[in-house]
Chains A and B, each alone.
Chain A
Amino acid sequence: MASVTISGVEKWFGTLQILHGIDIDIEDQEFVVLVGPSGCGKSTLLRMIAGLEPISDGEISIGTRVINNVPARDRDIAMVFQNYALYPHMSVYDNIGFSLKLRKRSKQEISEKISEAAEILDLTPYLERSPRQLSGGQRQRVAMGRALVRDAQVFLFDEPLSNLDAKLRVVMRTEIKALHQRLKTTSVYVTHDQIEAMTMADRIVVMNKGRVEQIGTPMDLYDFPANLFVADFIGSPSMNFIEGVVAADNEGPFVMAKDRTRLAISRDSSAELGQKVIYGARPEHLVLSGGSEGFGATVEVIEPTGPNIQIFADVAGQRICALSPERRTHKPGQKIRLHCPEASVHLFDASSGARI
């Protein structure tokens, strides 16, 4: 097992730059998730770690060894592909054992390793089948098994669950996490699904347009998003944003929205008076207030999700979403008051998008 260090990595396809100087330090035994919208360069970065894509500039090391010029087969990594990439002309047994066979391990050892992996992944009854005869979930497990027997230093995953149905995805998510807790192999996991990222990661790397937006633990990103992009990307339903200008009165500082709605902010905030900002509040932090607290809103649409009710309402000409556990029935057009505790408010500079 080993750490992975990515420093100043760039990727060019011809004259098109896809990655703009990526720096990430992945510690030994860590489970790091690369997340971002599709097309942002996650797979490209992962494939550069794997050795499937040349590194245009910068350096990637595994442990203390710089691997820029090491071919994929000598990097001692294992990878699970989005479409599993199972060898269709080999049985499940041979698929899992292929890497060991290439490394000229003894028949005895190979068979032991395969049985062990099959045991862990519940594949024992299917070892003689061909990949064609397996369900999507089983194929996914075979792909995992192929990585498992390797005792590789690093596991790489490229959206391994995106071809599974929603239920199975949740199950496999937990299994992969449990597997990591057991094997502790350093892992880099790519997904575009922020829930997957939040639930699985030790640390998350949020990427956008070939740049790293923020690196941190899931709760860090949730509580202290470094900028508008991360704030918007992490959390579901996503954070509400209202534009405004910082002002103050005798009750304290607040953000004044376009229609002069008063959005209270903390006294400790470093925002300057007159600064153009974006006020952010997560739906789950917006509570219905009985009294005069908070700000006025007009209900537009109600969507019950079961545990909660999503209230979509108009505030200062912008649609926002509030999550309410109460089963009170609101009607479209109804005026309500919403309140966000000052500690839960996020403020971003309107021009740079950076957190204030």
Chain B
Amino acid sequence: MKSRTRIPTTPLLMILPSFLLAMSIIGYPILDLAWTSMQEVSRFGKMMGFIGLANFAEVFRDPLFYSSLVRTLIWTVAVVGGTLIISLPIAIMLNDDFYGRGLARVIVMLPWAISLTMTAVLWRWSLNGRAGLINATLMDFHIITEPIEWLATAPLAFTVEILVGILVSIPFTTTIFLGGLSSLPQDSYEAAVVDGAKPWELFRYITLPLMKPFINIAIVLNVIYVFNSLPIIWVMTEGGPANGTDILVTYLYKLAFRFGQLGKASAISLIMFFVLFVFTIAYVLMVMRQEHDSTAEEVKNDA
């Protein structure tokens, strides 16, 4: 078989600058982490020599690693799950025409505009056990009689942090869903209504299946963001009290920048990287399969 198309260099030149920058800022640190994770590192960042997988072994012996890992899973699943369950109905409402929709959209999107750090600072103050206005509000409505120390005990603090995590993830997720909803073909709905479908059936048989790619994207991107999210927990409790709200990122941050255990911290970084990598590959495969399915469908429709 002969092919006479020359390899076009222009597009490659055009992507080159962005590629090079991403490679050096994102690619290099990965290699550096891999290198560091197999070194013995002094408190002051001096490499003391190759020690193989000893850092990894140390991580896997560390009970705090396991408790942080478990909490990371709870954190990720709870935040992503909660976000999706709340965001879909919200997106459906915001996609519908009703009085004040513009305002509703602005309010729902608001947390996105604000840095997670600021949001966490706001919540930390609002939840203050002594003077927090959340307590003031709850007491005004006679829901509680005594102020509650929201962030003083780990289980309660972690629950509150999960709720804040959900709150700040809703805008992004709703945005993806709104984009999806506005791209759904109107005629499918009209055809289904003519066929006598009720609102619930419309949702079940038209909206949900057509939204599937968008839901998948939302799951994947949210998992990546939430898994990696430091500011909320860091600002509200710094992983405390007594490491009771530590997830991997906060634990990693403490190891690296508080306790100077760079080798061990690098090992945890790589483990996290590996987890996300596996997850993303699974995602790419999933997307490719779906694209494959949908092109197959197009071909069928053309025939």
Contact = CB atoms under 8 A, between A and B. Distances in A.
Interface string B264-291: 0000000000000000000000000000
B2 interface: yes
B223 to A, nearest CB: 36
A318 to B, nearest CB: 24
A15 B4 CA distance: 8
B4 A10 contact: yes
Interface in A1-29: 10, 12-15
A10 B4 CA distance: 10
Interface string A23-60: 00000000000000000000000000000001011000
Nearest to B1: A15
Interface in A52-108: 54, 56-57
Contacts of B2: 12
Contacts of A57: 4
Contacts of A13: 5
Nearest to A10: B4
Nearest to B6: A54
Contacts of A12: 2-5
B302 to A, nearest CB: 10
A285 B4 CA distance: 48
A144 B87 CA distance: 50
Nearest to B4: A56
Interface band, chain A: under 10
Interface in B1-52: 1-6
Interface in B44-76: none
A319 to B, nearest CB: 23
A13 B5 CA distance: 7
A56 B3 CA distance: 8
A13 B2 CA distance: 11
Interface centre among A12, A13, A57 (most CB of B within 10 A): A12
A246 B3 CA distance: 45
Contacts of A14: 3, 5
Contacts of B1: 15
A68 B259 CA distance: 68
B233 to A, nearest CB: 49
A10 B5 CA distance: 11
Contacts of A54: 5-6
B58 to A, nearest CB: 52
Interface string B131-173: 0000000000000000000000000000000000000000000
Nearest to B3: A15
Interface centre among A10, A56, A57 (most CB of B within 10 A): A56
Contacts of B5: 12-14, 54, 56
Contacts of A15: 1, 3
A259 to B, nearest CB: 32
A12 B3 CA distance: 6
A54 B10 CA distance: 14
A132 to B, nearest CB: 22
A238 B96 CA distance: 50
Nearest to A11: B4
A265 B3 CA distance: 48
B215 to A, nearest CB: 34
Contacts of A10: 4
A209 B4 CA distance: 19
A199 to B, nearest CB: 30
A157 to B, nearest CB: 26
Contacts of A56: 4-5
B131 to A, nearest CB: 57
A202 to B, nearest CB: 32
A15 B3 CA distance: 5
Interface in B77-106: none
B6 to A, nearest CB: 8
A196 B1 CA distance: 37
A12 B1 CA distance: 11
A206 to B, nearest CB: 23
A81 B1 CA distance: 33
Interface centre among B2, B4, B6 (most CB of A within 10 A): B4
Interface of B: 1-6
6 shortest interchain CB distances as A-B pairs: A56-B4, A15-B3, A12-B4, A15-B1, A12-B3, A12-B5
Interface of A: 10, 12-15, 54, 56-57
Given A12-B5, A56-B4, 8 more contacts: A10-B4, A12-B2, A12-B3, A12-B4, A14-B5, A54-B5, A54-B6, A56-B5
11 contacts: A12-B2, A12-B3, A12-B4, A13-B5, A14-B3, A15-B1, A54-B5, A54-B6, A56-B4, A56-B5, A57-B4
